[in-house]
Amino acid sequence: MYRESRSGMSEMKTVLAFSGSARQDSWNKRVVQIAAQGAEKAGAQVVYVDLADYPMPVFNEDDEREYGPPESVVKFKQLMKDADGFLISSPENNGYFSALIKNVVDWASRRAENEGARECFAGKKAMFMAASPGPMGGIRGLPHVQNLFFGMGTIVLPGARTIGRVGEQFDDAGKCTDDNLVKTLEDLGRTLVENL
């Protein structure tokens, strides 16, 4: 799996995988990486990124006008533009998706010079998942984040999954101990690639 590097490009489809959590030991980071393995096995070139490595200030149009977009925004937008599809795992905060995801979308939706409207989103395919230590697995927030991307022109594929009590399905080393869950998540990545 490629991490932020896409040298040696080929004609294969490219998938950008990320989680809406900046927490170091995020469950959502772990599950999206398993889904990314499925996309890779299906023949895609996968770029996994940790949004903590792309710090973005809270979007403020006045700051954007005065200083321009931060370098982290420019780099992440390029990854989005280069991707054919997205694998996104969204944590749930108070029944909604994370502020981190909303801020990324707010920045990525800003139209730069010589850039098409919603170029980072329009026509791209996306598969979503959510994980939570609680029993509901993030099910309340998942439709909201799907609707956010749909509103930006992204084609949201059916089959999103939620993983409840996720902490019980990983060992202390961070490895998933549930073979059925691994298959379910890898199938999300495979399904995305098959639809690109």
Instruction: Please determine, for residue 158, whether its predicted confidence score (pLDDT) is greater than 60.
Output: yes
SS3 85: strand
Instruction: Please determine, for residue 42, whether its predicted confidence score (pLDDT) is greater than 90.
Output: yes
**Residues in the chain, overall count:** 196
Q: Which of 130, 184, 151 has the alpha carbon at shortest distance from 21?
A: 130
Mean pLDDT of 98-115: 93
Walk me through the domains of the chain, giving residue ranges and CATH numbers. 14-194 (3.40.50.360)
> Could you give the CA distance from residue 149 to residue 64 in angstroms, rounded to a whole number?
22
70: Cα within 13 Å, side-chain hemisphere:
15
Q: Which of 15, 83, 85, 75 has the alpha carbon at shortest distance from 51?
A: 75
Percent of the chain scored above 70 by pLDDT?
95
Q: pTM of the full predicted structure?
A: 0.91
| Beta-bridge mates of residue 92 | 97
Contact (Cβ atoms closer than 8 angstroms) between residue 151 and residue 109: no
Higher pLDDT, 86 or 25: 86
Mean pLDDT of 178-182: 92
Most confident of 72-86, 107-121, 133-147, 170-184: 72-86
